[in-house]
Every structure is written in structure tokens, then in C-alpha cells.
Amino acid sequence: MLLWRRPSCCLPVKEDQDILLNAAREKASYQRKLGRDNEEKQIGELAAKGTVVIRDIDKALNPVIKEHQAAFGKDRIEGIVNVQ
């Protein structure tokens, strides 16, 4: 078995850690923006082709919820809907 111990001279210093952490935060922020922009573009393309885009999911589900309340009971359905 071969073990290697990193010499203390090679450990990143606080400044290096801060640089890497800040870069990671910037990258995460950029990725989230890129994802949101891409999603909006795709939704726009779908809407332009005639696809019905539903943004308010709660409003869209109300008819389904009411339909199932009769079959399963209002308390059960509300318990499912209210799960976080």
C-alpha cells in the first residue's frame, strides 16, 4: 500500500480558497441566469408554435383538484396540496 501525504507547503492558502470560492459563486449565478434565459427562450418558441403555456400551476390544477375532492375527500386532497 502506498500512502502519500501532501506537504504543508502545497496546501492552498486562504487567499487561494477565497478566489476559488468567489469564482464558484460567480459561476453558479451565471449558470442559473443561463438556465432561466434558455428556459424562457424555449417557452417562447413553444408558445409561438401554438402550445398553451401554463405559468400559474395552482390555477391550472384547480379543476383537477375539485374533481378529485369528490372521489377522495376534501381533507385528503388538501393534505396532498399543502405538502411542502
Cα distance between residue 39 and residue 58, in whole Å: 20
**Are 69 and 77 contacting, i.e. CB atoms less than 8 angstroms apart?**
yes
What pLDDT was estimated at residue 55?
87
Three-state SS at 56: coil
How many helices (H) does the chain have, and how many strands (E)?
Answer: 3, 0
Length of the chain: 84
Give the predicted TM-score (pTM) of the model: 0.52
- For the segment 35-73, what is each residue's pLDDT rounded down to a tens digit? 999 999 999 999 999 999 988 888 888 888 888 888 899
